[in-house]
Amino acid sequence: MSDSIIKMKGVTKEFPGVKALKSVDLNIYKGKIMALLGENGAGKSTLMKILTGVYEKTTGEIILNGKPVQIKNTREAQNMGIAIIHQELNLISNLSIGENIFLGREPVNSFGKIEWSKLYKAAKLIMDRLGITEKPETLVGELSIGKQQMVEIAKALSLNAQVIVMDEPTGALTDKETDSLFRVIRELKAEGRSIVYISHRLKEIFQICDDVTILRDGQFIAEYPINDVNEDKIIELMVGRKLSEQYPRINCQLGENLLEVKNLTNAYVKDISFSIRSGEIVGLAGLMGSGRTELARTIYGVYGKDKGEIIVQGKAVDIKSPGQAIRNGISYVSEDRKGNGVVLGLNIKENISLSVLQKLSGIFGIIDKKKEENAALDSIQGMSIKTSGVKQLVKNLSGGNQQKVSLSKSLMTGPKILILDEPTRGVDVGAKKEIYDIINQFKQAGMSIIMISSEIPEILGMSDRIMVMHEGRISGCIEREQADQERIMRLAVGQREVTI
């Protein structure tokens, strides 16, 4: 195992007030795929940002082909043959595939005019290798996420990258797209290129990786050949303790109907009717684009409704904005944490209190800072949010802790009906368990909970009842005892089945 192309040794990174990495080692072997695993906030991204020149390390060394190197910026990293494909793709959607691949390195003639035919010919060559069948002139915005990912890989290849870092590459891909991504990864490997593969999906790690490095809390925990470990072992190493029951489902006495939706219809959803009782968790399953999030946001007043009724505790309510939804006891925790779940630029306290400042302020809207701080401290304790204090900016928290802030913000409004949209997306294994426990507390407190999730095991593990959506409609409703993965999938793809 001496043939490592890159060795990161004792890498430490300090941010003001935080030690993000404490003496971390990482070996990247030639022609091998290294999985980099850890909970959110374990330091994977920071480590990769150091490798690709986005951050400068505080101490430690990076050895490339046996020689110590300094990587000061992203361009230097590129020149050394290191490329990264980010979770959020960095493509420009109104430029063509070819233009994106060669962005900033367009072939030009002596007058500075771009030589388009040369550019597109070169692009075509790389695309053929990756099995991208679109024309190089196609706009990137017209491609599926999976294809866009391939374009990112094409870009990395055009740089002749020897080391390619892939951060959660399959997060938004369909199974078919994942398969073709894996095919390409294997080909890259066969060419002798090295890959660092970051993913939360352990199954994939075992399918494709050769070795695995595990980080926890900014520290190096272990490196193993993949064949020497199993899933349980990896999870144990990631969270530092044994995982008992993954889904802590509890049974609750069901109470009155808290929410009833009748014939709800708008541009996104068609003729939706259902009801949910106090102490009940209804899982809302379906494929991407089936209208789950849109249904939630319609109930929450983000989107207007054309037809239908929303009835809270037996009373028809008129909800035209999230503010009205909150006043009627409905709260929504968004799947898009950074986009509309939390305000990254505000601190924890300001986020948690944002929806309820009305209650925390007196005449002239003067905020009672003491009350506000106490409310935030209660949430931090109740949710065990890991933070240096109520004044820490939310953008400096890990994904799991941001999610807890988002949950706290919702909970502050004292909701009777809580809609959770992908509550554990991008959250690591340990924090997932904590979030499930929190959800169960809500359930025990008698709330009605609608939980949207793309992870069927999660739906099966937590729900009392499962609703499945397909193309804006509810395609079926299954009691937990009768539910299994296959039935849910069948309903999700729109197959009819005998009603129960």
Q: Does 365 bind other proteins (CB under 8 A)?
A: yes
**Which CB sits closer to other proteins, 27 or 331?**
331
3-class state of residue 73 by DSSP: coil
**Which CB sits closer to other proteins, 224 or 303?**
303
Secondary structure (H, E, C), 252-320: CCCCCEEEEEEEEECCCCCCEEEEEECCCEEEEEECCCCCHHHHHHHHCCCCCCCEEEEEECCEEECCC
Q: Does 346 bind other proteins (CB under 8 A)?
A: yes
Dihedral of CA atoms 92, 95, 100, 105 in degrees, nearest 10, equals: -110
Pairing of strands 4-15, 211-216: unpaired
Q: Does 385 bind other proteins (CB under 8 A)?
A: no
Q: For residue 131, count CB atoms less than 10 angstroms from its CB and return exposed for 0-12, middle for 13-18, buried for 19 or more.
A: exposed
Residue 402, φ and ψ in degrees, nearest 5: -60, -40
Q: Which stretch binds other proteins (CB under 8 A): 19-27, 151-159, 366-374, 452-460?
A: 366-374
What would the two tokens of residue 197 be? Answer: 């593969």
Q: Does 332 bind other proteins (CB under 8 A)?
A: yes
Which of 343, 377, 477, 489 lies at the binding interface for other proteins (CB under 8 A)? Answer: 343
**Which CB sits closer to other proteins, 4 or 46?**
46
Q: Which stretch binds other proteins (CB under 8 A): 127-135, 266-274, 343-351, 396-404?
A: 343-351
Please report how close the Cβ of residue 330 comes to other proteins at its closest, in angstroms. Answer: 10
Beta strands in 101-179, from DSSP E residues, in sequence order: 163-167
Q: Does 54 bind other proteins (CB under 8 A)?
A: no
**Which CB sits closer to other proteins, 174 or 340?**
340
Closest among 160, 177, 135 to 81, alpha carbons compared: 160
**Which CB sits closer to other proteins, 178 or 406?**
406
- In the chain, what is the greatest distance between 2 CA atoms, to the nearest angstrom? 78
Sketch the per residue contact string, 291 through 330, with other proteins: x for CB under 8 A, - otherwise: ---------x-x------------------xxx-xxx---
Q: Which residue has the tokens 């009768």?
A: 482
Which of 361, 384, 441, 454 lies at the binding interface for other proteins (CB under 8 A)? Answer: 361
**Which CB sits closer to other proteins, 216 or 409?**
409
Alpha-helical regions (H) of 131-261: 145-158, 175-190, 202-208, 231-239
Q: Does 392 bind other proteins (CB under 8 A)?
A: no
Which of 92, 108, 267, 367 lies at the binding interface for other proteins (CB under 8 A)? Answer: 367
For binding to other proteins (CB under 8 A), which residues are involved? Answer: 300, 302, 321-323, 325-327, 332, 334, 339-346, 350, 354-355, 357-358, 361, 364-367, 369, 409, 413
